[in-house]
């Protein structure tokens, strides 16, 4: 029997992303999620040829202006987009910089956009890697020992005290310039490397954080996604306690990542974990956060505890993993809540799988390459940093049913809508159905039968960028001008010249 829920889609939505990464599949997921529900969706994107622009569910694309985006430029951008939309819209921030700017300038935007009731500096506090240790300590949540060095010498001392290898993070990675060549997270293997990174702090725009490395192994990387709101306003439960409560969300297991061991989720599985979920609830109660939250944990096999590594005050790119049997996810929950609609009780789908095709292929290929090196598997098993390669690469991309014992429920995926956002103009109410696409319980990030063009655009951009990189590597070094070439060395004369006969 098909379940039907009425979804009031009258208010348009703006999906905001300031990050200039064209392969951010979470933005596409948000556009499709709201567009399939009949919402008129707009998006702020990095370029006119961004793959998300090709989505049939996107009503309007608005470009991020070139160059650094300060407070004035940010508010001008959103006010200009609001004028183009023509009415109040729900705003969904998809990256840290967007969430931080929205909270900081909420007073100027509240008449144009529907926003979570968020303390001004809270998203910035949570996203700052250097501040997270103190937040975790107050909430009673595990966090790896960390040091913020004040000099190159302190960086070297911290490397010795924390142990090598260690993890280096820039405390505010959203400030990194694309031309700096710096990564937000780096695995440091020497004191010299720690010194060298500290020397780049001015270029990075934020403080360097050195953190004890928690070895990875199978089933050690976990994440949590949830939407938090004041219970009475969102559910109508007048007897519930005050404060934000998780209305939609869950915990998941990261099975593939890119870059390996330190990157985003290339393949994830919805896996209930009470310790992870309880830690998320404690964090929110401690700081009073309202909105969508994405947390990354790693289980310390030595102690059995879960260490909170990162907090992202916005949807994670794989948020569609946590889509319930009625198609409800954190983005739809925020839309319902901010438009004054009741967020229905979420019925979970443990065992559901989400795969980001492009990154999963890279991660699986690296796993296969490592396993094929002579002696590499034994070395990886003997050391912490490579333990994540012990998975079977032949099944790394599989989306077969691997639910825990005792959980064999199967829920159909959401049935694609046949009308795009353009067909929803003027429609006051849309119906969201729980159907089934072949009864599948998995989802891929890019390909969709009802919206194939973003997948094709991603492939063109992905392989185009790969071809450029390959061409740079294969291109022979340029010849020096003739006048600057060094003369050919003369043949060396022997030390002993035999006498002539």
3-state helix, strand, coil in the chain (%, to 5): 35, 20, 45
- C-alpha count within 13 angstroms, C-beta hemisphere, residue 17: 28
Helix (H, G, I), strand (E, B) or coil at 453: helix
Backbone angles phi, psi at 299, to 5 degrees: -85, 125
CA–CA gap between residue 221 and residue 254 (Å, rounded): 5
Which has the minimum average pLDDT: 24-28, 132-136, 343-347, 372-376?
372-376
pLDDT tens sequence across 403-454: 333 333 333 333 333 344 444 434 444 444 443 333 469 999 999 999 999 9
Q: How far apart are alpha carbons 228 and 333 in whole angstroms?
A: 9
Distance of CA 318 to the CA centre of its chain: 7
In degrees, rounded to 5, the angle at the alpha carbon of residue 493 between the alpha carbons of residues 491 and 495 is: 150
DSSP string, 251-291: EEEEEEEESTTTSEEEEEEE---HHHHHHHHHHHHHHT--E
Mean pLDDT of the chain: 83
List pLDDT tens digits, range 174-198: 999 888 899 999 999 999 999 999 9
What is d(CA 453, CA 31) in angstroms, rounded to the nearest whole number?
Answer: 13
pLDDT of residue 476: 58
Provide the 3-class DSSP secondary structure of residue 120. coil
**317 Cβ contact list (under 8 Å, min separation 6):** 24, 25, 26, 29, 264, 265, 356, 445
Tokens matching residue 376? 């590499």
CA-based nearest residue to 39, from 452, 430, 317, 339: 430
Residue 332 has what DSSP assignment? H
Q: Which pair of structure tokens corresponds to residue 392?
A: 């079977």
Among 92, 94, 95, 96, CA closest to 123: 96
Q: Does the pLDDT at position 114 exceed 60?
A: yes
The pLDDT tens digits for 58-90 are: 999 999 998 888 999 999 999 999 999 999 999
Closest CA to 319 of 103, 126, 94, 6: 94
- CA angle 458–462–468, rounded 5-degree value: 145
- pLDDT band, very low/low/confident/very high, at 111 (cuts 50, 70, 90): very high
Task: Note whether 93 and 99 are within 8 A (CB).
Answer: yes
Residue partners of 145: CB distance under 8 A and separation at least 6: 162, 211, 212
What distance in Å separates the CA atoms of residue 441 and residue 432, rounded to the nearest whole number?
A: 17
Tell me, what's the pLDDT at 44? 98
Residue tagged 């729900």 (tokens):
90
489 pLDDT above the threshold of 70: no
52 burial via Cβ count (<10 Å: 0-12, 13-18, 19+): buried
CA–CA gap between residue 393 and residue 408 (Å, rounded): 25
Omega of the bond leading into 80 within 30 degrees of 0 (cis): no
Number of residues written out for the chain: 501
Question: What is the rounded CA–CA span in Å between residue 401 and residue 348?
Answer: 15
Lowest mean pLDDT among 272-281, 285-294, 326-335, 370-379: 370-379
Calpha distance 256→318 (Å, rounded)? 12
Strand partners for 224 = 251, 295
β-strand pairing of 442-444 with 429-434: unpaired
Note the pLDDT of residue 59.
98
Instruction: Report the SS3 class of residue 43.
Output: strand
């Amino acid at each position: 029997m098909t379940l039907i829920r009425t979804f009031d889609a009258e208010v348009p939505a703006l999906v905001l992303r300031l990050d200039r990464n064209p392969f951010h599949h979470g933005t596409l997921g948000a556009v499709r999620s709201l567009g399939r529900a009949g919402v008129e969706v707009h998006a702020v994107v990095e370029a006119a040829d961004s793959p998300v622009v090709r989505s049939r569910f996107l009503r309007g694309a608005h470009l991020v202006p070139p160059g650094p985006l300060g407070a004035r430029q940010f508010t001008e951008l959103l006010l200009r987009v609001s004028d183009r939309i023509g009415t109040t819209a729900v705003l969904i921030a998809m990256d840290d910089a967007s969430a931080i700017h929205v909270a900081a300038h909420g007073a100027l935007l509240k008449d144009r956009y529907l926003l979570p009731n968020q303390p001004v500096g809270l998203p910035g506090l949570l996203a700052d890697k250097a501040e997270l240790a103190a937040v975790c300590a107050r909430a009673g949540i595990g966090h790896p020992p960390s040091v913020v060095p004040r000099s190159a010498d302190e960086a070297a001392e911290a490397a010795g005290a924390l142990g090598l290898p260690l993890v280096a993070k820039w405390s505010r990675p959203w400030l990194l310039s694309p031309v700096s060549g710096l990564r937000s997270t780096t695995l440091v293997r020497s004191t010299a490397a720690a010194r060298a990174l500290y020397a780049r702090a001015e270029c990075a725009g934020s403080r360097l954080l050195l953190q004890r490395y928690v070895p990875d192994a199978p089933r050690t990387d976990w994440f949590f996604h949830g939407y938090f709101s004041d219970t009475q306003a969102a559910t109508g439960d007048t007897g519930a306690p005050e404060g934000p409560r998780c209305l939609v969300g869950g915990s998941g297991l990261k099975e593939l990542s890119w870059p390996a061991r330190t990157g985003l989720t290339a393949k994830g599985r919805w896996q209930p974990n009470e310790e992870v979920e309880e830690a998320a609830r404690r964090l929110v109660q401690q700081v009073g956060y309202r909105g969508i939250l994405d947390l990354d944990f790693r289980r310390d096999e030595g102690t059995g505890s879960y260490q909170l590594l990162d907090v992202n005050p916005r949807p994670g790119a794989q948020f569609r993993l946590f889509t319930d049997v009625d198609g409800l996810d954190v983005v739809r929950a925020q839309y319902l809540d901010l438009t004054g609609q009741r967020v229905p009780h979420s019925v979970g789908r443990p065992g559901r799988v989400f795969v980001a095709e492009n990154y999963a292929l890279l991660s699986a290929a690296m796993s296969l390459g490592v396993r094929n090196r002579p002696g590499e598997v034994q070395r990886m098993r003997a050391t912490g940093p490579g333990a994540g390669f012990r998975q079977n690469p032949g099944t790394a991309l599989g989306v077969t049913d691997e639910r825990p014992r005792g959980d064999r429920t199967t829920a159909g995926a959401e049935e694609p809508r046949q009308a795009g956002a353009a067909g929803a103009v003027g429609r006051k109410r849309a119906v969201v159905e729980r159907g089934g696409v072949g009864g599948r319980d998995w989802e891929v990030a890019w390909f969709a039968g009802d919206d194939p063009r973003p997948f094709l655009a991603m492939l063109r951009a992905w392989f185009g960028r790969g071809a450029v990189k390959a061409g740079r590597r294969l291109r022979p070094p340029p010849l020096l001008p003739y006048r600057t070439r060094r003369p050919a060395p003369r043949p060396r004369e022997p030390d002993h010249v035999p006498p002539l006969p």
